[in-house]
Amino acid sequence: MLLARVVGTVVATRKDPRLEGKKLLVVKTVSPDGKDDGNYLVAVDTVDAGFRETVLIVQGSSARMAVECKDRPVDTAIIGVVDTVHLDDEKAVAASARK
């Protein structure tokens, strides 16, 4: 699972019928200390996330286990809106994130 920030929306008229009614958002992955990773993903929103919020995303076949995503063609889902991230040792993370 990854942390990401919502940076935009996707509108698609023609799509798989099982995606109808699903909100698609563009998210940019971030490291736990809040720095941008630079990867963009399109994710299905299951928790009513909003613009610029930090969210928890799940990728791969596990994404289909989220409520509202069962048996749908989904491989990235937003499953939580992050309130806070607490790090025990900020320096250790900052160092590893730079690798």
Partner 1 sequence: MYLGKVIGTVVCTMKNPVLEGKKILVVQPLDPQGRPSGKPVIALDSVGAGAGETIYWCRGREASFAWYPAEVPTEATIVAIVDRVNVKEKATTDKHR
Q: How many CA atoms lie within 13 A of 96 on its CB side?
A: 8
**Does residue 96 bind partner 1 (CB under 8 A)?**
yes
Site for partner 1 in 43-72 (CB under 8 A): 46-49, 56, 58-67, 69-70
Site string for partner 1, 24-43 (x = CB under 8 A): -------xx----x------
**Does residue 91 bind partner 1 (CB under 8 A)?**
no
**Does residue 94 bind partner 1 (CB under 8 A)?**
no
- Measuring CA to CA, which residue among 75, 86, 87 is closest to residue 43? 75
